[in-house]
Structure 1
């Protein structure tokens, strides 16, 4: 089940990247531009999330 969910996530990411590429070329229909915008907004939201320090390394280990 987890493999199926991860596969769907990967397919969605690849599809979003393809839409961003096609929009950047300038010959994209409206629905591709919408998917591209949603993809870019999602990436901005993911980048703005605070990073967790779950790597097991504390600040004193540096």
Structure 2
């Protein structure tokens, strides 16, 4: 079993905000970030731009807990 890394893969930042239309593509982007090891930070922000629903979701890369 692999140990979680203390840094995100591929040089990604520890804090990310994904935004986009509330559609399957956005959901896949969030799901991919979760599969990499990111965790949701609070709930999403949702707005309507006059044509469509737009979502923003913050994600955090949490360092693995240190065991003594």
TM bucket normalised to smaller: under 0.3
Which has the larger share of strand?
2
Q: Which has the higher contact order (CA 8 A, sep 6+)?
A: 2
Which has the larger share of helix?
1
Using structure 2 for the length normalisation, give the TM-score.
0.26
Larger radius of gyration: 1
